[in-house]
Every structure is written in C-alpha cells, then in structure tokens.
Chain A
C-alpha cells in the first residue's frame, strides 16, 4: 500500500495538518502536499478511469505531465473539471471527486469497454459508427455523448475574477529549477531586467531530489542561496505558481499565474494572465521522464521512477512497500537508492541494458544490497486495480516469464525528453539525439524576432543536458548570452563548480520485451488518458496513416488534456518502427500553446460582467433608462429602440411614437451621429473627392445630404454636410460610423492626397444632438425663446448658431422624417439640461421622445434609405435611384471609376422600389422574391429582396422597400415573396415614397 513515511518530505510543513475530501471521504494531508501526494499518503492509488476503456488508473507522475489523476474540484461557482491532482496544492477543505466512471470509481459499468477492447482498435469509432447511417443519429451519437468526456462541464456562473497584466523585461526565464535560477542570475548580474517564472510553488525544480552538489554544497542549499540572492536584486522579478504558457512572435509570452487556487478564500483575482514582452527568452523548462511500454504499464501502482523519488523525498510518501524498478538508463537507480534510504524494499532492478561494466550509480545500488538483473524487463504487470507483482522476462526475447516478483509498486524509466514545447511554439527546430534517444533544441535554428535575431535560448535539461555539471555550465552561459543579446555588457565569471555521477549510456527501449507478441502489445499503453496502445499505433501505420500528424488524429495519441507529454516520443518511435524508418524521419507533431491548459477566465481577463465590452452612452443615457428605454445596440452605442410605457408592448410604443411625430412633436437623441470637422484651404476640393456630390459649391450656412462610396464604388455612408465657413465643413456620419469614416478620410488624406491642406477632427462626442421633429417643432423652439427659427430666417437645409432657452446651440434645419424638423447641437455637458428644457416646453405641445424604430418607420414612409438596410456593401448609389446625388460635373470622386465597370452599369442590377402588400400585412424583412426557373445549382431563381419592412401606423398598413430586378420599370406589378412561416406574401411594386411625396410637411 502507499503510505506516509515517518521521515522525509522536504516540501511539507508537518506541523500543519490539512483536511480534504475525496469522493466524499474525509482525508488528511499536510501543508505543502499536492492533492496527489496527499491521496497517496491515504493509500488512494486508484484515482480515475481511462477515457475509452474505463480502465482503473492511478497516479503516474508528480508534475504537469500527469495523464491520469484528473479530478473535479470544488462545487457550484468554484467547480472545475479535469484538474491535475499532481499540480493541485492541498488546502483546508479541498473538495475533489474522481471522473469518468459510473456508478462509482471502484465499480464502473463502462469497464465493459475494456472487455471489448480487442474489438475496439484504433479508428474504431470511425469505422463502426458510420453504418447504417440512421443509427448514428438515434443510437450511436446519444450513447457516445453520454459516455464521452472526462469531467463534467461546470453549470454555475464562475464566482471568481481574473485579470491580465502587461509586463516587459529584457530577459524572461521560464522555469525556476537550478538551470533557470542560474541563467537568471548571470543575466541579472550583467544588468538585464529579468523576470523568472516557475510553474510550481517551489524554486529549485527537481535537482534537489537528485544527487549531486554545487560548489561543495548540496543542491538544496545552493537553491536557497540563489533565491535569496535573486530576490535582493532590484532588476529581478520572481514569480512562483506562474507557468510560461506559450511563446509567440516578437518575444511575446503568456504567463499563467494561479493566485488563489491554493487559497480560495483570499481576496483578489484567481488567475492572472501575464502578457509579457521580452527581449530574450530562456526556456529552462527541464525534462520529462518517459514511461516504458510493457504489458500492464497502466495498472495503478506503476509510476515514473522520478515521480516515485519525488514522492519519497519531497512529500515523505511511499507509493509502495516493495517497489520493482525497471529501466533502460542510470537515472532510475537514484530512485532505488532513495527508496532504500527511506527504509523501503526494492526487490529488484530490471535493467534492459547489457553493459560491459557497472556505472557508479549501479555500483551504489548494488552496494545497498539491491539485486540488479541486466538485460531483463517486465513481461507483464500482475494485478488489476493495483499492482501485485511483475513477471520478468528477457528484454531480447518474446516475453517468456523467467521469474515473478511480488510488489505493490513499479517504478519505470524509459529515459528523459527535454521539455521543448516553449522552444518550439514559435518555430524553434529540433534535432534527434541518438545518445539520449530524444529530440533536443537545435540551437542554430531558434525562433527569430522583429530584428531577425534569435530570441529564445534553451538552458539546462530543456537543452538536452542531464548531468548537473553540464546543466550548470549551460545555464550560466545562456544567461550571459541572453544579457548580451539584449544589449548588456557581460563580465564573464566562471560557472559554479558542480559535481555529478558519471552515467552509463542509455539503451533505447520502445517496446518491452522487444519481441512482445500481440497479446502483450495490446496491453502496453502509450497514451494513458486516451487509451492508445502500442498495437493501435502499429495498426494505424499498417492502415496507411504514415504521417505522424495523421497517425495522431487516427489513434488520438497525444490528443488528451496532457497533449501527449508522456506518450509523444514513445508513440512516434513505435510508428517509426512500424514504418521501418528512423525516428527523425517520422518527426514530431506540432507543439502548440498553452503548455498545460489555462482557464478560460484567465484568457478573458477583466472582460466579463459590466466590462465585457464597452457600452457607449450619450449624455442623456440615464434619462432614457429611467423613462422606459428598450435598448438597441448600434455598434457599441446603446440607443433607445422605443420608450415603453407601463401597460404597453414595445410594438405599441413604437406605433404611438411614430404617430405622435407626424401629429405633434417628437424628440430623438441623435447624439450618436458622427460629426467630423474638415477644415483647410483645400477642404472643399477634398470633400468633392470623398463625396459623390459636389460639396465645394455649398454656401456657408447651408446643408447638403451627401453620399460616400468606397473606391470599389459601393455606398459606405451618408449624412448631412454643413458648411460652417469658407474653409470649414461639418460632416455628419451614420451612428457608429464616425470612427470608421474618420479612418477612411484620414487614410485618403494621409496616404493619397497628402499635399492637400486639410485637417480633420472627430467632434462627435463634443455635442449632444437632439432632433426636434413634428408639426409643433417650431412652436417648441419658440417657446424656449432665443434665436429666430422661422421659415424665412432658417429655411430647409440651412443651419445657424444662436441661443435657445439660454443654451448656446447650433441648429440644423434638416429632416430624416419628412416633418418640420430641427437637429440641435449643444455641448455634451449641457445635453441633459437642454433635453429637460425641451420636454418642459413640449409638455403643452404633446411631446414624446421617440426611439430608433420610430425613426426607421418615419424615414421608410418617406422612402429615405438607411445605410446597413438598403446597403450591404454590394450596393451602389445607382441601385438606389440616387443619381441626383452623383455629381456629373466632377472629374473624379471615390468610386466614380468603379461605377463605370460593366457589372456596375448592368441594367440587370436589382434596383430600389417600394413594396406594398396586397393585403396590407408586413413583408418579412430580408425575404426574397421568386422568379421562374433555377440556377446551375438547382436553386430557385430570385428577382429581388426586401431591404426594410415595417407596419406604418400613419398609413395603417405594411410598407417596405426592396431591391428588385428591373424594379422601377415594373410599377404596379405584383411579386411573390415566400416567408419562412410557410406563407407567400404578394406585394405590389410601387414608388418608395409612401408619405407626403411632395414634401409639403417639411417645408413649412
């Protein structure tokens, strides 16, 4: 059984017991434990079920690479699935449950899949569930959906907060092991601004667990000294619990800081996403041990040799009383020695190698009384939910059992792979290293940055160095190089003097025993989480999935939440074997960020709840809100759609407001309309190029409606231009169009016509603008008192400055409704007061505020187009019958040349008409008009579509506008528009001007 040892546990505070719950069972650990070490201390080796076969699975690793020990953590707003027990720090009251089993972890129905395993090879789902087709929808999919997935999706709203932080440094060191610390120090000593990130809560990495010494001191001591030295340096920032998640272009790195995962009751954000821009990056990300592929290597109790050592040394936990070691390298001997030192039994070390002589580590193990069997390996592991023993065979054979050992744990080591993920994210290339049977960074092919120079350097084990002496030397040098690369002068100091054992070479072992037959291969697991076996990869190769990327997707090797940290190299070695080609020729799959999963909350940062996205508010926003505004988003603006009174539906409100404008008086908050000042000696000339109309001839004091097209000829915006003085124009844009059109104008001014003397300023928000509309409009302004707004003094399409009710105003006599109408601009800070004044004087004149829907109906009744309704980026002014706004006198304007293209002058283009339903109903917006025949794809031929459609309360029937083939020539013809409700609407083609065609009402 696994248990807590009386001694050891360098990361524990044994003074402080911590209570936690696993699957409803109360358990105890210590401060400093991970959930994994605490579970092992409570003899909870079985922690989950595998994804496909529901096989019992135990803890395999001690760090971020763990594939099996995934748990649900917390409840309700703090619930999160798929959390790795090995990287979850224990805290008082932690609540964890295991995943992917039913009804319980110990007894799971899904395990039936395991019995059927030989009928469920690679690609099983693809092959099986294709036929017969109808069964997919009704039988297979519901069943697979029920069974699929590891953890449960959270249901509650996330109770935590998250944030981003922008950080900048010269040298970023990712990884706080001995290599990272040393590299950080040498860079910092040169004066570089250094940031060092460590994903765990502890500095030093795994070097303190391994043997060796630096400058004659144990590694532990050196780590403490380095940490204290670095914390005292003002140019160094150190963060634990912060993982380097991804390396991106131009030195951009995402760091993932877990602030309160280990202390959920603390104030503040749970995770912080560091958006780091670094001059140079050192990846000191260490290495990950590889499992060995033998039958039963997934039985709970089979662990990585390094993890066994970690649990003993760091957490004072023994994974078993009797542990068999199986290895192809020297490093696993350290585990044997550590176990022995902790008073535990190591019945045998099975070493697959055949060596001429013992290495120092081997000699030390033997001297400790441990039996070593060279040239041997595991034939198979005995036991189901827990290891009970191993059957031993010759590595060179086919698995004939020579001896059995009773044991309750197996520590395996298949060699080490540098963690090259961060090196590779942004294009760092890899080399195959035959001696260590691993991919290592090709330092001559590093990712390059904005200046074309390399900006990532690997250091230590991440660079393929494993002896402490080599690691120390490499890290020291890489720190210096990074400082130099970021412009600091380095006075080289010698690297610290490290001692480490001479190690015998590793022998690559990809399958144990090498001649294992089918029964053994189909029990030799490569990917624990996704249940991919040696036999699956071999089958994939046999079926023609020869590219590593294809084989990965076919077998799902490396596609689980651990992204193949343990399985990658073993899998592609098996694939290479099956394809009879060397491993480098097979290559690796692509390493993509993040290194381990990061929370969606961290990605969103502050952008949730009230600051999910900016909401733009006009100066009268609060008034609208208090007076029943039903909001409509227009870009980021919020505009009142209608002001709904109690007992009224939104539709009722729209009808009431629309009628009231025609009969009495309406107020519209038009502040969102863009306002751009265009000024300079060449302003008129410039506007003549931007607008299709002639603007240079506009007289000061006058307004003109203008159209803007893109260079492609398509209509992009419209609005009223007022000439303020000889050199100054004020151009109105559509709501939400101010920034876009400002950018468009600046683009042409700065990049094409830069010789023109023109300045442009966006003054949209300087003003609150209120449209005062209806037969009583003039009376309202006269009631306010001030400037003369009579028809004689202020005619239609004129503007004037003055005062009204004591407010400094600019009044534009323009109309988007066909009524007598004034648009009045006041300073934004006085907008609310002016609105209040208008409401007060309007009281006697039956004033009502009106929203955007009434605005739409009023303009549609008059046949005025709306950008975004009648236009969609493919419509030209000619389509809309706006020829009168296209100046024929001008040689040039944006879009003019494009509008001469054959497709633009094609008489077959759909053109604007009014549409009137025969029965007075409302046409569905966007409906298409059918014609006879079909196109080459067999789709019905269309002859037009509805662009705007409303119920007009003033005409008491449905009115619509649409673009119709030969429309203006087909007045009176009835066209069919099928709706999505099964009804076909019959509509007559009419003039788009439904109301007051002579314009008498606006000209009073």
Chain B
C-alpha cells in the first residue's frame, strides 16, 4: 500500500519552551555484522552515502545517515520509499558474509525537538550530560527517556532527532510536551 501511517500521523506541539514534531516515516535498516569488515561498511555507505561513524557517533544528513548502535550494529537511515530496494542492495552486497540486515522503519517513531531550550527538555528526561560542550553535533546516544529506551542526536543546532519504539510514540510525545511545558526553562545551558 502506498499510504503508510506513522505512529502519531505527524503530531506537532509548540505550546511551551520547545517545539515537538513527529517526523514522517523514516527509512531505517538495522545492519548487524563485523564493523571492521569493509564489505559490511560498504553495504551501509552505499545506501546512506555517508561514512561509517565511529563509536558513539552518527553521520546524518537529512533523511540519510548511519548511526553507530553497538560494536556490531549500525542503523542505516534512508528515505522510507527506498527501503525495500536498499535492503535488497545491501543483502546482495553481503551475500556470503555473516550479517543480518532487516527493515525496522515501521518499528520506530521519530521526533524532532527544537528551540533554544531543546537541550534542557531532553536533560529532564534522559540521564545524559547535555551541556553544549559535552553533547555535540555528530554524537549519538542510546539511553533512557523517563521509562522507555530512546536514542538521539543533534540534527542541527538546538534541534534533536529522537528515535523510540513505535508503541511508545504517544508516551514519548506526551513526555516531551510535559518536559517542555510553559515556564519550565532551567536556563542552565
């Protein structure tokens, strides 16, 4: 079918110290393998057109990118429409190499939290040092947001992308709007 619905159908909110937007369906492919193997790297870079990032980092350019998930796992981002073709391409590159690549686009929800207080909104929910000189562009952090797992990176200055499980989308959206409520700036960063 041609009309995929994201978890919250593009919900938005901006009635506080930051704005929250659900990003439309983002193509995501989990790639497991030996990251030092050039074939594995090539499978990812050929699809995302960015370099494989180092430990704890992500190279993201709009909807394309590669996120370092663990020593044997990358998350390859591409446009949602291209997932099937890219998956096939990766699988043929990886033929005969012990690896796993699987479409997880529908298993996730993606949010964008932006504004000068975006860092503070996240710091209310995640046990992560989000000071501007500590969490910088290019870093990628898998952690906990309140009671659920999440991962985030700086898409741009004052603009975070957050990935969570699709079933948690409403919870995470609500969390972000509570954390960004009016009058709640910490004025720390």
Contact = CB atoms under 8 A, between A and B. Distances in A.
A833 B9 CA distance: 13
Contacts of B170: 615, 617
Contacts of B3: 833
A607 to B, nearest CB: 7
B151 interface: no
Contacts of A269: 181, 183-184
A767 interface: yes
A267 B183 contact: yes
Interface string A138-173: 000000000000000000000001011111100000
Contacts of B167: 616-618, 637, 765
Given A161-B181, A166-B127, A763 B186 contact: no
Contacts of A164: 124-125
Contact of B107 (A267, A681, A828, A830): A828
A617 B104 CA distance: 17
A679 interface: yes
A253 to B, nearest CB: 13
A761 B104 contact: yes
Contact of B5 (A167, A637, A761, A832): A832
Nearest to A609: B178
A166 B1 CA distance: 43
A828 B3 CA distance: 12
Given A168-B131, A766-B104, A830 B147 contact: no
Contacts of B130: 166
Majority SS of interface residues in chain A? Answer: mixed
Nearest to B99: A759
B36 interface: no
A244 interface: no
Contact of B124 (A166, A614, A833): A166
A266 B1 CA distance: 50
Interface centre among A165, A605, A764, A829 (most CB of B within 10 A): A829
B123 A167 contact: yes
Interface centre among A611, A681, A763 (most CB of B within 10 A): A611
A958 interface: no
Size category of the binding interface on chain A: 35 or more
Contacts of B124: 163-166, 605-606
Contact of A767 (B100, B106, B120): B106
A131 interface: no
B142 interface: no
A766 B107 contact: yes
A611 B174 contact: yes
A832 B4 CA distance: 10
Interface in A675-701: 677, 679-681
A840 to B, nearest CB: 14
B35 interface: no
Contact of B178 (A193, A606, A766): A606
Contacts of A55: none
A617 B166 CA distance: 8
Contact of A761 (B30, B123, B175, B179): B30
A167 B128 CA distance: 8
A937 interface: no
Contacts of B57: none
A614 B147 contact: yes
B106 A766 contact: yes
A765 B128 CA distance: 26
B107 A765 contact: yes
B5 A611 contact: no
A807 B171 contact: no
B1 A830 contact: yes
A680 B100 contact: yes
A359 interface: no
B168 A614 contact: yes
Interface string B115-128: 00000100111111
Interface in A178-205: 193
B88 interface: no
A268 B180 CA distance: 9
A757 interface: yes
B21 to A, nearest CB: 18
Contact of A757 (B30, B98, B131): B98
Interface string A737-775: 000000000000000000001010101111100000000
Contacts of A681: 98
A802 interface: no
B110 interface: no
A828 B168 CA distance: 13
B102 A763 contact: yes
A759 B170 CA distance: 30
A763 B105 CA distance: 10
A237 B123 CA distance: 16
Interface in A232-274: 237, 266-269, 272
A206 interface: no
A223 to B, nearest CB: 22
B182 interface: yes
B183 A759 contact: no
Contacts of B81: none
Given A617-B167, A807-B1, A764 B107 contact: yes
Nearest to B175: A611
Interface in B135-189: 146-148, 165-171, 174-175, 178-179, 181-186, 188
Interface in B14-50: 25, 30, 32-33
B59 interface: no
Given A165-B120, A616-B168, A761 B102 contact: yes
A830 B4 contact: yes
Given A163-B184, A272-B186, A606 B5 contact: no
Contacts of B25: 829
Interface centre among B1, B3, B126, B130 (most CB of A within 10 A): B1
A906 to B, nearest CB: 42
Given A614-B171, A619-B166, A765-B165, 19 more contacts: A161-B181, A163-B184, A165-B124, A166-B126, A167-B123, A267-B181, A277-B129, A606-B125, A607-B146, A611-B174, A614-B146, A614-B148, A681-B98, A763-B107, A765-B106, A766-B103, A766-B104, A828-B106, A830-B1
22 contacts: A163-B124, A163-B178, A163-B179, A165-B120, A165-B188, A166-B124, A167-B188, A267-B183, A267-B184, A605-B124, A614-B171, A616-B165, A616-B171, A617-B167, A618-B167, A757-B98, A761-B100, A761-B102, A765-B166, A765-B167, A829-B5, A829-B25
Interface of B: 1, 3-7, 25, 30, 32-33, 72, 98-100, 102-108, 120, 123-131, 134, 146-148, 165-171, 174-175, 178-179, 181-186, 188
Interface of A: 161, 163-168, 193, 237, 266-269, 272, 275, 277, 605-607, 610-611, 613-619, 637, 677, 679-681, 757, 759, 761, 763-767, 806-807, 827-830, 832-834
